[in-house]
Amino acid sequence: AQKVTQAQTEISVVEKEDVTLDCVYETRDTTYYLFWYKQPPSGELVFLIRRNSFDEQNEISGRYSWNFQKSTSSFNFTITASQVVDSAVYFCALSEATLDSNYQLIWGAGTKLIIKP
């Protein structure tokens, strides 16, 4: 069965520290997609990244980086030199490229990230 686990319910760090948010997934399929979304207190879900199962290259975008490891079924997200504006709930999500996926994203429970000034 498909499942996404974000074991860290809440993380609190001081500004400028690096922080890694963990995401572990379960899927039966060889073709699937993984996503990260950010949800600040305003409520809007902001798309951060989409990665398919055949592309294991790590991704870097400014202070954000993602480490995709199929061997451990993980897709972790690191923020370098965190800033107060990074405070938000971060969701990891999985989608399988099959007809049975029923158009659904399988969401993790989310990790609340608090960056203290």
Partner 1 sequence: DTEVTQTPKHLVMGMTNKKSLKCEQHMGHRAMYWYKQKAKKPPELMFVYSYEKLSINESVPSRFSPECPNSSLLNLHLHALQPEDSALYLCASSQWTGGTDTQYFGPGTRLTVL
Question: Closest Cα partner for 23 from 73, 59, 80?
Answer: 73
Kindly tell me which residue out of 45, 60, 81, 84 binds partner 1, with binding defined by CB under 8 A: 45
- Is 44 near partner 1 (CB under 8 A)? yes
Three-state DSSP class for residue 82? coil
CA distance 55 to 26: 17
Kindly tell me which residue out of 57, 61, 103, 117 binds partner 1, with binding defined by CB under 8 A: 103
Complex with partner 1: residue 15 or 59, whichever CB lies closer: 59
Complex with partner 1: residue 39 or 80, whichever CB lies closer: 39
Kindly tell me which residue out of 82, 110, 111, 113 binds partner 1, with binding defined by CB under 8 A: 110
How many residues in the shown chain lie near partner 1 by CB under 8 A? Answer: 26
Complex with partner 1: residue 32 or 77, whichever CB lies closer: 32
Question: Closest Cα partner for 82 from 21, 6, 4?
Answer: 21
Here's the x/- map for partner 1, 5-24, by CB under 8 A: it reads as: --------------------
Are the CB atoms for 22 and 113 separated by under 8 Å?
A: no
Are the CB atoms for 97 and 31 separated by under 8 Å?
A: yes
